[in-house]
Amino acid sequence: MRAFVITGPGQGVVRDVPPPAARAGEVVVDVDRAGVCGTDLEFFSGEMAYLHSGEASYPMRIGHEWSGVVTAVGSAGDEAWLGRRVTGDTMLGCGHCARCTSGRQHLCADRHEIGVRRGWPGALAAQLPVPVSALHELPPEVDATLGALVEPGANALRAVLAAQLVPGARVLIMGPGTIGLLAASFAAAAGAEVHVLGLSLDFTRSLGFTHAWTADTLPELPFDAVVDCSTASTLPARAIDLVEPGGRVVFIGIAEQPSLADTRRLALKDVTAVGVLSGSGALAQTISAYAAGAVDPRPLVAATVTLDDAVAVLSGRRAPAWGPAPKIHITPAS
């Protein structure tokens, strides 16, 4: 089958590789759609931290945002999955440690991450092996595009849930990339007054987020919660400054350099700070929100291209016709 392989920093190629065989407890998925995210770009550039910690190495096959159809199963008891449209969790825990058995498999020290960690092949390929325990079925209302947006949507939803918003609460979303705009959408669906802080805001406003500000224009307002979806090392400290005493700050963006935050400010303002890793635990809720039309992230997809376009996409080259939407999808089978 055809698969995209990163062979080194800035180097990638489409290769013919052996197709996966479903082992016991696994299925094989024919991938309909795969999304490209910032993590994938960091693997391609060589900047991703896992490459330097030894948790990932070249050659590697990326892609952890996906949807597809189950075409093979490894255990007779899993045959009911055949033909189902699915997406799945990226985080694959060992299943035995205390974190896994308490429902926190995304924090398992020995976890694999599809297309990310410890060599599990990713979804920029015609087929993908996935444990049955990670699968989520997609209803008819959730098409291939929405299915490949479940994983980033679940990340954003977990961040919004961590903010503990109530209807009418005022929340500031920092960083209007894919995760930030998804977080803004889920916050709006929860009845919050959503404000967005960013650099380029025309696309953000086109989605209906009229309270969109730059650092220079942000008004002095009391924010009940701040969700930092940015990659700016200076913004975590600003988030603590901007949130109301007794409020909540959620950190889901990861900066290239360490972020310095004054914990005295956290304590003296009685602020709760929460970190979010992965969409695990919110995938089913995200699928339900998409199916019900409560959140429709399809405008975030600028273009859908083929596997042969992966190098251009990962190099940051964009066709002018694509416009400013942040997400690129790939159809691996074409």
Choose among 230, 287, 274, 235: nearest CA to 253. Answer: 230
Q: What's the number of domains the chain is made of?
A: 2
Based on the fold, state whether residues 160 and 127 are members of the same structural domain: no
Per-residue confidence of the chain (334 residues) as pLDDT tens digits? 999 999 999 999 999 999 999 999 999 999 999 999 999 999 999 999 999 999 999 999 999 999 999 999 999 999 999 999 999 999 999 999 999 999 999 999 999 999 999 999 999 999 999 999 999 999 999 999 999 999 999 999 999 999 999 999 999 999 999 999 999 999 999 999 999 999 999 999 999 999 999 999 999 999 999 999 999 999 999 999 999 999 999 999 999 889 999 999 999 999 999 999 999 999 999 999 999 999 999 999 999 999 999 999 999 999 999 999 999 999 998 7
The answer to the question of residue 286 being in a domain is no
CA–CA gap between residue 107 and residue 275 (Å, rounded): 12
Based on the fold, state whether residues 251 and 226 are members of the same structural domain: yes
CATH classification at residue 219: 3.40.50.720
Tell me how many degrees the CA angle 80-121-331 measures, rounded to the nearest 5: 75
The answer to the question of residue 280 being in a domain is no
Based on the fold, state whether residues 205 and 247 are members of the same structural domain: yes
Domain range spanning residue 176?
A: 153-275
Q: Please state, in angstroms and as integers, the Cα–Cα distance from residue 302 to each residue in 15, 182, 305, 325, following that order.
A: 26, 15, 10, 5
The answer to the question of residue 284 being in a domain is no
Tokens of 221: 């307002």
Model pTM score: 0.97
CB atoms within 10 A of CB 125: 28
DSSP 26: E
Based on the fold, state whether residues 224 and 137 are members of the same structural domain: no
CATH classification at residue 45: 3.90.180.10
Alpha-carbon radius of gyration of the chain = 20
Based on the fold, state whether residues 143 and 6 are members of the same structural domain: yes
